[in-house]
């Protein structure tokens, strides 16, 4: 269980890279669309992120699981892993698209390869390729094998999901609800796009007055099929109302002194979901912290699908289930006005449920880190030390000493507000001394993992800590 928790912590770290880039990328993609500003080069910047999420996840996972202070080689190993897998799959089966799942697998393979072979010795004539460079060679070999395996088994997995999606069609409202639930619950594994592909582009058939045949919920709706849109309508409830409700709950549940910081993050997340149909920045902020909250989110998404089906709401999208597509497709939709009252009801359902669970279960969502706590032996000078002094170098030095020195650091990185450290020997860590340094709190998710809550200035403390680590 301890190893599992440590793995979840590292997986959460791996999500920081793509998540950090998503909000702005999603907004500029929507603003750059043909029906808005129509600036192609602006949209290309957003597509650079969302068109390469598998690469970002591969690099992020490799960095998160690699045991190294300098993450440059692990990051390159992660890139080579996903690049090799992609090219191998093109040869094995050009129709295979593993999406984010391929990125996560590649990142894990890259991290394992780096950890296993980073100290590899070779004959003198090949010494240039030894040590940290050797994983760059090995990962290409291993991912070539992975491409051969997934090229064979992934179509079977994909066909199974396609068959399951076809079965949902015959289940009416319950089928739509199950689809919406699975759409959310599969996101952490990157498998939702496989289910979506069938629903979006192959579900059902419609022959236009001109005799042209169209397949898929999205394609049929845009081309005038009055029966299309039942599998898509629920997304408007979740993206335009549900996710903003989550954001408000996280903001309101945050400690008062931290709400200003949370407001910016959650406000951006709500706007991105409402305007651009991008929910990952919000969902990834709590899915690994609390599987309970994420399961509730998926259940509510399923409920939204059932309600819109029973109310015969039929509306589709091209870019995504956001306010822009809602307005654009309003004229050709069935009962689109009902989206507003149903959405408002779900906004409050999401808000009150999430707020209650966060507070009742004391879930450490953004802004709910532990309060400051001092040991009895802390003297007045230690209590006066705070990050407001801007003495980041001093703070980093004292933290490093309390953590057992450079030799005891297995891994260290920072997220939005926390310094996350993995140590080799927890028995030499002076936890009380850490708490006396003016930090906001400390969480110990596993025996060897520490989350030191510093606040927004953690970036500067991490910078100074890296200098100390690299100089030794």
Catalytic residue numbers read: 415
Beta strand ranges found along 11-142 (DSSP E): none
Residue 396: closest CA among 458, 306, 327, 322: 458
C-alpha pair distances (Å), 401 with each of 94, 410, 447: 53, 14, 19
* Integer Cα distance of 440 and 454 in angstroms: 6
First to last CA, the chain: 34
Q: Name residue 412's beta-bridge partners.
A: 421
Residues 6+ apart with CB under 8 A from 77: 62, 66, 110, 111, 113, 114, 135, 136, 139
* Integer Cα distance of 451 and 422 in angstroms: 9
Write phi, then psi, for 386 (nearest 5 degrees). -150, 165
Write phi, then psi, for 277 (nearest 5 degrees). 65, 20
CB burial class (10 A; 0-12, 13-18, 19+) of residue 69?
Answer: middle
Residue 26: closest CA among 58, 6, 53: 53
Residue 469: closest CA among 418, 417, 422, 416: 422
Residue 247: closest CA among 366, 356, 415, 340: 366
Residue with the two structure tokens 């070999």: 141
Write phi, then psi, for 194 (nearest 5 degrees). -65, -45
CB burial class (10 A; 0-12, 13-18, 19+) of residue 334?
Answer: middle
* Integer Cα distance of 361 and 172 in angstroms: 35
Q: How many CB atoms lie within 10 A of CB 70?
A: 12
Token duo for residue 14? 């791996």
Long-range contacts made by residues 324-329, C-beta under 8 angstroms, separation at least 24? 324/30, 324/33, 324/35, 324/36, 324/275, 325/236, 325/277, 326/236, 326/240, 328/35, 329/221
Residues 6+ apart with CB under 8 A from 125: none
* Integer Cα distance of 17 and 11 in angstroms: 11
Indicate the SS3 state at residue 136: helix
Write phi, then psi, for 192 (nearest 5 degrees). -65, -30
């Amino acid at each position: 269980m301890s190893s599992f928790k440590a793995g979840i912590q590292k997986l959460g770290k791996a999500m920081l890279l793509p998540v950090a880039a998503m909000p702005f990328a999603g907004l500029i993609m929507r603003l750059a669309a043909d029906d808005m500003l129509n600036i192609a080069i602006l949209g290309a910047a957003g597509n650079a992120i969302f068109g390469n999420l598998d690469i970002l996840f591969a690099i992020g996972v490799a960095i998160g699981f690699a045991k190294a202070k300098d993450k440059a080689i692990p990051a390159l190993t992660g890139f080579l892993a996903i690049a090799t897998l992609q090219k191998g799959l093109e040869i094995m089966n050009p129709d295979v698209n593993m999406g984010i799942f391929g990125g996560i697998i590649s990142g894990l393979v890259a991290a394992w390869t780096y950890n296993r072979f980073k100290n590899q010795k070779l004959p003198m004539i090949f010494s240039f390729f030894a040590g940290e460079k050797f994983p760059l060679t090995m990962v290409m070999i291993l991912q070539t094998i992975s491409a051969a395996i997934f090229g064979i088994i992934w179509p079977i997995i994909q066909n199974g999901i396609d068959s399951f999606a076809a079965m949902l069609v015959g289940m009416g409202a319950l089928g739509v609800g199950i689809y919406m639930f699975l759409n959310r619950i599969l996101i952490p594994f990157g498998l939702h796009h496989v289910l979506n592909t069938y629903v979006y582009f192959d579900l059902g058939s419609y022959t236009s007055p001109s005799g042209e045949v169209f397949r898929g919920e999205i394609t049929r709706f845009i081309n005038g099929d009055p029966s299309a849109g039942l599998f898509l309508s629920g997304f408007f409830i979740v993206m335009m109302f549900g996710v903003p409700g989550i954001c408000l709950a996280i903001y309101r549940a945050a400690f008062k002194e931290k709400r200003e910081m949370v407001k910016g993050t959650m406000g951006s997340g709500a706007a991105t979901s409402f305007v651009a149909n991008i929910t990952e920045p919000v969902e990834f902020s709590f899915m690994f912290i609390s599987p309970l909250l994420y399961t509730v989110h998926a259940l509510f998404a399923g409920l939204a699908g059932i309600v819109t089906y029973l109310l015969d709401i039929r509306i589709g999208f091209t870019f995504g289930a956001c306010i822009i597509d809602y307005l654009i497709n309003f004229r050709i939709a069935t009962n689109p006005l009902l989206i507003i009252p149903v959405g408002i009801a779900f906004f409050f359902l999401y808000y009150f449920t999430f707020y209650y669970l966060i507070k009742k279960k004391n879930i450490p969502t953004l802004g709910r880190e532990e309060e400051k706590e001092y040991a009895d032996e802390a003297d007045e000078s230690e209590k006066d030390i705070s990050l407001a002094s801007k003495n980041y170098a001093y703070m980093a030095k004292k933290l490093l000493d309390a953590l057992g020195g450079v030799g005891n650091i297995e891994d260290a990185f920072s997220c939005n507000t926390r310094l996350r450290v993995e140590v080799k020997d927890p028995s030499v860590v002076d936890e009380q001394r850490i708490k006396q340094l003016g930090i906001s709190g400390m969480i110990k998710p596993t025996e060897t993992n520490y989350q030191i809550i510093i606040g927004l200035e953690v970036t500067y403390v991490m910078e100074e800590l890296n200098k100390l680590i690299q100089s030794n």
